[in-house]
Structure 1
Amino acid sequence: MALSPRLEFRQAQSLTLTPQLMQSIRLLQLSHLELNDFVEAELLRNPLLEREDGGEPGEAEAPEPAEGSQDLSAFEDTVERSERIQDAASIADGYDTAVDNVFPDHAAQDQLNPQSRLDRNGASATGEAPDIEQYVASRPLLSEHLENQANMLLRTQADRLIARHLIDGLNEAGYLTLDLDALAEQLGAERADIYAVLEAVQGCDPVGVFAQSVPECLALQLRDRDRLDPMMMRLLDHLHLLAEHDMPGLMRAVGCDREDLLDMLAELRQLDPKPGLAFDSGPVETVVPDVFVRRGPDGAWQIELNSETLPRVLVNRVYYATVTKKTRNAAEKSFLSDCLATANWLTKSLDQRAQTIVKVAAEIVRQQDGFLTHGIAHLKPMTLKMVAETIEMHESTVSRVTTNKYLATPRGLFEMKYFFTTAIASSDGSGDHSAEAVRHRIRQLIEGETAKEILSDDTIAEMLKKEQGIDVARRTVAKYREAMNIPSSVIRRRQKKDFEAAAGKITPVA
């Protein structure tokens, strides 16, 4: 058969991810803070976009004046206002005394900021409202606090440069996370110089910063109090025994009796293992819910979007029509057309994003009605696939919608991802159990222990199977217990004995 070129027409369906479609998908997984930043950038770039609450000048109707009121100009109203309000000097003259006697803080405030005089309604002399943020107290930054001290302690610029790098290597708790040998190689300095500067700045306030471990941090604070004796040093070297509540082993390692050990532990409790947390480390972002879940009058759950987190934008078509009529350049017309298409796409994408969030949240509430009504013990196992099949969406879409989104429920504030948990099979075939509900039950069993009845992982697994029919293995119980930062049964037994001994209930055996 001879080969020859030919033309054929075929009809087929295909999905093409355009840049705008990819951007719409990306908008789903943005939090409300990230979404607001994205919209702000679009407002600056696109002249056809404007906020819904920001009307154009002249659009808002002026309120009608009340009957009998006179139309005053801004100048006349200001003059009349100034005549009614007396200043501090006039009031002091009326009492035949000095201003400082009537208003003690007035003279000092005028010297610091003459423009900050406020009238009785809170307005300044310039007619502008005061900036409340100027009066809010803020904690100093740890880096700034240490740099001020290092500049006074160290004399040479080389030492101050080393100190600045050491300060940059501190974490929020005040611990040094740098490799000193690597720092010496980076700066081209001697290791002895690095350690000399480190020893100097370790005396800065707060005492304990620039330590590389918890024992070193506590040792710096004890040395400052002149309480770092050999016995206390041995105690700091064996802090792991204290974490395990192995008091007999700790007494043998330190070489002291129980009374001396209790005295040293009382001194350690007065120290701060994280001295850097007393300083401001940056702005704290408050979690704001994206969806409110409330019980309606008829007993059904009501889903409502948080309007404060949703940026609302409008397309200014009047401005587009006005500018297009006066534009003759083809490039400018193309730019305006692109701006109009982008603005239409953004408003449509924001509306579609809001509808998708409501749809997913409604399905989560429907499937987790037991949790919202009775508590965490009734949390059902739920997967992305279960929600996606019900609302006829793809799993990836549900995953993006539930990322960084929060539900405000009568049970508290929860991330949407919280409700998606794995299923644990039931031994009696009554239904699967949520992994989060199983963890909650394990925590309840451990909190109800006594010093004489400490539950092992095997015992907890047997109790779960006997009481609620939860078929869970011992290693699964151990995994959940470690994820909740709960120690083993051996350490819990020592903790319970020490607690009851401190309360005078039992006498521990050394």
Structure 2
Amino acid sequence: MAFTAKLELRQSHSLVMTPQLQQAIKLLQLSNMELTAFVEAELERNPLLEREEADDTGGAGQGDAAEVEARLFADAKQEANGQAADAVDAAEGDTAGDDGEWLDLQADDRGGQADDLDTEPQDASPEGDSFATGALKEGGWASLGQGPRLDGDDAPNLEAYVAEVRTLKDHLADQLALVFADPARRLIGHHLIDMTDEAGYLQGDLAALGELLGAPLDLVEETLTVMQGFDPCGVFARDLRECLTLQLKEQDRCDPAMAALIEHLDLLATHDLAALKRACRVSDEDLCDMIQEVKRLNPKPGLKYGSSPSQPIVPDVLVRPLPDASWHVELNSETLPRVLVNQAYYACVCKSATSKHDKSYLVDCLQTANWLVKSLDQRARTILKVAQEIVRQQDAFLTYGVRHLRPLNLRTVADAISMHESTVSRVTANKYMATNRGLFELKYFFTSAIAAAGEGDAHSSEAVRHRIKEMIEAEPASEVLSDDKIVERLKLDGVDIARRTVAKYREALRIPSSVQRRRQKRIAAGASA
């Protein structure tokens, strides 16, 4: 069989993911904190990028995309080599995916006290008075007894004078130094402190610790027993039962009935009062008092120390109502990095670059800087466009509340703004919108639809969950609503929903069943009585 060679021409289409396009896609789905960190890294790496100083007299971000571009990206008019970042809209990507504490733990607020300044004049002579008067005329009280005012890099670092937040391990280490004088026990104690988590619970095996240190297990257990009396009460416990028991012993309330209650915490979690009463052998009134006493204990005593302050969420989009009942949508200028390309520095450095490697490096830096500025501009435009469409679609929610939240999916928004569905998915990831109704993630506005019982419009699943929560919160103790009863009421309101869906939504809201709620209301009624 003979083989012959021939030449054929074929034409095909394919999407080429250039590095610049990949960068634009990556920037689109970053949160504002991740974007800030990325831009800071680029500023350190690329000598042609520089941070644009914010104008102190400037106002908030403008809603018009062109004004945002002019204000934030002064050098965005330069065109980059290669594909435009508009190809992001056509790129394929991932689509959007789909036991409470007894007590609110409060962290200790610790603040330092500033030393009072002595502003009384030391010299009572007329010359001293004259000097003080002259000083007041020139610089006010701040100039008396103080050096010249320092600004910029010469100003003192105020953060260096802020008191350090004491952690739980620091607090325990101080007590350890006062309680134990034996070096062996101190060594064991330091290892036990290292084995304690932030909630105050001991993690790890005592036998393994004794083997590691070459210490008898009895000595390790004796040291632990002493350290379980440290402040805060309940620390160094190995489970919840031991933590609560330590606190009850400190209050001299660990009698046999209370010990039986702690031993049957599983029955307390399900509010099985009949079984608890049999286990503790007490009356209904005593059982209610014991339960309320246990609920006043702290299940995580270590969180009082060294708890880091929660990082507030900074919104990416700001929405405010206008007098004509419309909505003004603008980008939050604080979340948008201000960078520009230093063309003057590039022109200066190019004159001194002689080798091919240096010239290639400068060209690469210029191209990367231009693409970053253009990608940031495209990201701002895209976020603003998606946010404006979400506000248009959910106008009733912003006006009347969550009951009027409309069912919405990514395709609806993508078709309305002529973008790809994957682009909308990336825009809504890790982005937040501040409205008159509160602060919401952009994904919050995308909910599935539940059919109407009649011929009306479909209902948002989030709105239905809100209705279920309102019904249960308003139910009286004498008439606890079952899931079937909730289904009947929703159908009267025009919502066609199944019982299993109601149960699923109730569990997602962490609302117990009707049987458990009835038991809870009985306990609350007994405690109030």
Q: Same fold (TM over 0.5)?
A: yes
Check conservation: 1:405, 1:416, Cα contact below 8 A. Answer: yes
Give 3-state SS (helix, strand or coil) of 1:287's partner. coil
* Residue 416, structure 1, aligned to residue 439, structure 2: no
Q: Normalising by the residue count of structure 2, what TM-score does the alignment of the two structures yield?
A: 0.77
Give 3-state SS (helix, strand or coil) of 1:50's partner. strand
Matches of 1:342 and 1:399, distance apart in 2: 26
Counterpart position of 1:119: 142
Residue of 329, 337, 341 corresponding to 2:363: 337
* Residue 140, structure 1, aligned to residue 166, structure 2: yes
Residue of 377, 388, 411 corresponding to 1:362: 388
Counterpart position of 2:246: 220
Check conservation: 1:377, 1:440, Cα contact below 8 A. Answer: yes
Counterpart position of 1:58: none
Give 3-state SS (helix, strand or coil) of 1:273's partner. coil
* Residue 306, structure 1, aligned to residue 337, structure 2: no
Matches of 2:382 and 2:144, distance apart in 1: 46
Cα distance, 1:124–1:260 mapped onto 2, change above 3 Å: farther
- Structure 1 residue 223, shift from structure 2 partner: 1.8
Matches of 2:394 and 2:212, distance apart in 1: 56
Give 3-state SS (helix, strand or coil) of 1:91's partner. coil
Give 3-state SS (helix, strand or coil) of 2:50's partner. strand
Give 3-state SS (helix, strand or coil) of 1:94's partner. coil
Matches of 2:206 and 2:407, distance apart in 1: 49
* Residue 175, structure 1, aligned to residue 201, structure 2: yes
Counterpart position of 2:518: 493
Describe how 1:364-379 pairs up with structure 2 within 5 A: 364-379=390-405
* Residue 94, structure 1, aligned to residue 120, structure 2: no
Give 3-state SS (helix, strand or coil) of 1:228's partner. coil
Check conservation: 2:119, 2:144, Cα contact below 8 A. Answer: no
Give 3-state SS (helix, strand or coil) of 1:351's partner. helix
Check conservation: 1:251, 1:257, Cα contact below 8 A. Answer: yes
Matches of 2:227 and 2:358, distance apart in 1: 61
Counterpart position of 1:70: none
Can you list the C-alpha shifts for 1:406-446, whole angstroms capped at 9, x where unaligned?
Answer: 00001010011111112212221322211111111011111
Counterpart position of 2:101: none
Describe how 1:37-76 pairs up with structure 2 within 5 A: 37-53=37-53
Can you list the C-alpha shifts for 1:258-310, whole angstroms capped at 9, x where unaligned?
Answer: 44434434543443222122112334211010000112233221110000110
Matches of 1:193 and 1:399, distance apart in 2: 59
Cα distance, 1:199–1:17 mapped onto 2, change above 3 Å: farther
Amino acid at match of 1:51: R
Counterpart position of 2:102: none
Cα distance, 1:283–1:136 mapped onto 2, change above 3 Å: same
- Between 1:385-394 and 1:446-455, the stretch displaced more is 385-394
- Structure 1 residue 8, shift from structure 2 partner: 4.3
- Structure 1 residue 125, shift from structure 2 partner: 5.3
* Residue 473, structure 1, aligned to residue 498, structure 2: yes
Cα distance, 1:456–1:297 mapped onto 2, change above 3 Å: same
Cα distance, 1:259–1:445 mapped onto 2, change above 3 Å: closer
Counterpart position of 1:20: 20
Counterpart position of 1:204: 230
Q: Normalising by the residue count of structure 1, what TM-score does the alignment of the two structures yield?
A: 0.80
Counterpart position of 2:298: 272
Give 3-state SS (helix, strand or coil) of 1:294's partner. strand
Cα distance, 1:387–1:240 mapped onto 2, change above 3 Å: same
Describe how 1:422-501 pairs up with structure 2 within 5 A: 422-466=448-492, 468-501=493-526
Counterpart position of 1:242: 268
Q: Report the RMSD for the aligned CA atoms in angstroms.
A: 3.0
- Structure 1 residue 148, shift from structure 2 partner: 3.1
Equivalent pairs: percent with the same residue?
57
- Structure 1 residue 25, shift from structure 2 partner: 1.0
- Structure 1 residue 149, shift from structure 2 partner: 2.9
Amino acid at match of 2:122: A
Amino acid at match of 2:278: R
User: More relative contact order in 1 or in 2 (CA 8 Å, sep 6+)?
Assistant: 2
Matches of 2:120 and 2:405, distance apart in 1: 70
- Structure 1 residue 42, shift from structure 2 partner: 0.7
Give 3-state SS (helix, strand or coil) of 1:93's partner. coil
Amino acid at match of 1:399: S
Amino acid at match of 1:431: D
Can you list the C-alpha shifts for 1:440-485, whole angstroms capped at 9, x where unaligned?
Answer: 101111112112211111111111112x221211121111111111
Check conservation: 1:124, 1:130, Cα contact below 8 A. Answer: no
Can you list the C-alpha shifts for 1:48-75, whole angstroms capped at 9, x where unaligned?
Answer: 00011179xxxxxxxxxxxxxxxxxxxx
Give 3-state SS (helix, strand or coil) of 1:285's partner. coil
Matches of 2:216 and 2:422, distance apart in 1: 54
Matches of 1:349 and 1:300, distance apart in 2: 30
Counterpart position of 2:79: none
Matches of 1:123 and 1:48, distance apart in 2: 42
Give 3-state SS (helix, strand or coil) of 1:227's partner. coil
Residue of 404, 421, 425 corresponding to 2:430: 404
Cα distance, 1:497–1:35 mapped onto 2, change above 3 Å: same
| Unpaired segments ≥5 residues, structure 1 | 56-86, 97-117, 505-510
Matches of 1:418 and 1:186, distance apart in 2: 51
- Structure 1 residue 389, shift from structure 2 partner: 2.5
Check conservation: 1:24, 1:349, Cα contact below 8 A. Answer: yes
Cα distance, 1:333–1:225 mapped onto 2, change above 3 Å: same
Counterpart position of 2:417: 391
Check conservation: 1:177, 1:212, Cα contact below 8 A. Answer: yes
- Between 1:145-154 and 1:29-38, the stretch displaced more is 145-154
Matches of 1:381 and 1:302, distance apart in 2: 22
Give 3-state SS (helix, strand or coil) of 1:208's partner. coil
Check conservation: 2:285, 2:526, Cα contact below 8 A. Answer: no
* Residue 150, structure 1, aligned to residue 186, structure 2: no
